Structures are given as C-alpha cells and as structure tokens.
C-alpha cells in the first residue's frame, strides 16, 4: 500500500485541475473517471477500530461511499453496500475489496426512492450479519440546472426522494435494530451553508439533512445511539462529471479550494470511521466539515 500518511505538502498530494472533460450519463461509473479517484483501494490502512461491527452504507459503490466501505472493512466491520443496479461494475469491485479485508460483504442493488426497498435493505443486513450497528446514509442525487425555471417537478422529486425521503425511510427502518453504542452518520454538504445557484434542489436537501440529523440526534441519544453528519466540500467523485456540474466546471473542479484541488474520497473516510467508532463516544448532533478550508456554519 502507498504511504499516504507520510508527511507531505497536502496541496500537492493528489491531482490538481485542469482535468479533462468527461461527461457520463447519470449515475456514472468511477472506473471511467480521469484521473481515477483514490477511494483507499491501495492507500487506506486499518487499525481494528470497528472490529465486529455491522454496517450498511448507501451509495457504497463509488465516491465517498466506496471509500467509507473500504475503510470500514479494513477497520474490521462487516459491510453491506446499497447501490443502483446500473452501478454493478463499480459495486463488484467494492465487494471484492471488502471480502479481501477478511470480513463479510453484502451487495444490495436497488432504488432507495422506493420506500419499501429501504426497509428491505435493513432486513437483509440484520438477517445476513445478525444485526446492524452502523448506518451511513450517503447516497445522493445531484443534477445541475442553470436557473429555477429549469428545475422540473420530476427533478425536484428525484432529488428530494433520494436525498431526504430515503434518509427518513432508512432511519425509520433501522431504529428498532440499533443497540446502544450504535451510530448513524449522514452525508450533508458545504452546499447546506454556501449553496450554488445551479444546485437549487440539491442544496435544499443538504440543508434539510443537517436539520434532520440534529433533530434525530436528540431523539436517539435516549437509546444510547449517536447521530452525526459529515459535510464535504469539493470531492473528486463520479457525481460531478455525470451531471452534477457543467463540464467546464468539472475541468476546474476544486481549483477554488484552499488546497487548489478537490479532495479525494480516501481523505474523508477517516472522519466516518471516527464517528462510527467508540472513540467518538461523546460526539452526537454534530456536523463535521471536510471542505478544503471553506468551513461550515
């Protein structure tokens, strides 16, 4: 594995723009990206922080979700990943990496916009792993639109159902199964605090995720369950070239961060590991920004 943690200038640690134009149909495949994102395939080293835990991660085939899945597996957790069936090529790679880490893997292809599928995913994890104690709600829908007149009801509905409804359905289904010490982690965004004009519906859902997470945390601590959010800034994931940004912005993606580059998914995975682990035993109702210097709040 590469020595990712060796001291070095973080501004130069990973590729910097300009990047080539690389349009893909939604939801896109990470394997077609240039440069290929670092999800930790060859660089994440685990230390047993999640040994014996049982995790479900939505959007676990690519991007941040893929990095979380790899990290959790190498930290000792059994890992189930939810993803769309059209993302099967990426998902197969992740399942192989989870199994290579010596833990159990579970592939769950389906559409989280279907309420019943969320409950089914939870049931399959509980049956397959004998329980559930980490829920990472990460899958997201992002499609830019130039102005409000271009955001159709269909667009708005798809974003709301993927980013907010599914969050609620998953938490609702998981709640009866989560023991004291369990952790729920949601994925918000810098867009909740600094919304882009072309991401009207997406930014709205990310602000909603922040509010939902903080409210749910107040409920769940009565069961001994912690609930937190992670708010990424610009990360090099397939969400961007598959319609999340115009291609001219993909070319310069991350250039305006303090680092002059986008984050790589492996750089945010350790935050999810911490929040899932007992090391974060006094952390709940928080939003952890990983924004490349932009901050949150």
Residues with a known catalytic role: 202
* Separation in Å, CA 94 to CA 98, 101, 125: 6, 11, 17
- 160 burial level (CB within 10 Å; 0-12, 13-18, 19+): middle
Write the DSSP assignment of 55-66 as a string of letters. EEEETTTSHHHH
Packing angle between helix 63-74 and helix 88-100, nearest 10 degrees? Answer: 20
Q: 């197969």: which residue's tokens?
A: 92
**At CA 271, angle to CA 266 and CA 273, rounded to 5?**
90
What's the longest Cα–Cα distance across the chain?
50
d(C-alpha 65, C-alpha 280), whole Å: 20
The tokens of 238 are what? 């397939």
Which phi and psi (to 5°) does residue 259 adopt? -90, -10
Q: Tell me if 66 sits within 8 A of 107, measured CB to CB.
A: no
Residue entry with tokens 């810098």? 190
Q: Rounded to an integer, what distance in angstroms lies between the CA atom of residue 188 and that of residue 193?
A: 10
Q: Which strands make up the sheet holding 226-232, listed edge to edge?
A: 105-109, 78-83, 54-58, 134-137, 183-187, 226-232, 287-290
Task: Give 33's Cβ-side CA count (13 Å radius).
Answer: 27
């Amino acid at each position: 594995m590469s020595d990712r943690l060796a001291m070095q200038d973080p501004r130069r640690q990973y590729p910097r723009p300009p990047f080539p134009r690389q349009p893909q149909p939604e939801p896109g495949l990470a394997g077609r990206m240039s440069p290929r994102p670092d999800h930790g395939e060859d660089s994440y080293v685990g230390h047993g922080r999640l040994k014996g835990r049982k995790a479900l991660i939505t959007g676990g085939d690519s991007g941040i979700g893929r990095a979380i899945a790899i990290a959790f597996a190498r930290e000792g957790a059994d890992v189930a990943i939810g993803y769309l069936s059209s993302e099967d090529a990426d998902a197969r790679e992740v399942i192989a990496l989870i199994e290579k880490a010596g833990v159990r893997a579970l592939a769950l292809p389906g559409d989280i916009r279907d309420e019943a599928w969320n409950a089914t995913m939870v049931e399959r994890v509980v049956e397959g792993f004998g329980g559930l104690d980490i829920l990472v709600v990460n899958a997201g829908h992002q499609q830019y639109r130039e102005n409000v007149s271009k955001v159709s009801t269909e667009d708005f509905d798809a974003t709301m159902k993927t980013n907010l409804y599914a969050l609620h359905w998953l938490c609702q289904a998981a709640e009866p199964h989560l023991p004291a010490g369990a952790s729920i982690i949601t994925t918000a965004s810098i867009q909740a605090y600094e919304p882009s004009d072309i991401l009207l519906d997406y930014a709205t859902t990310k602000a909603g995720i922040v509010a939902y997470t903080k409210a749910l945390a107040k409920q769940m601590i009565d069961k001994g369950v912690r609930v937190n959010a992670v708010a990424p800034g610009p990360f090099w994931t397939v969400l961007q070239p598959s319609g999340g940004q115009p291609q001219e912005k993909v070319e310069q993606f991350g250039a305006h961060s303090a680092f002059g580059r986008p984050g790589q998914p492996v750089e945010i995975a350790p935050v999810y590991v911490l929040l899932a682990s007992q090391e974060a035993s006094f952390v709940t109702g928080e939003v952890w920004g990983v924004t490349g210097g932009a901050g949150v709040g």
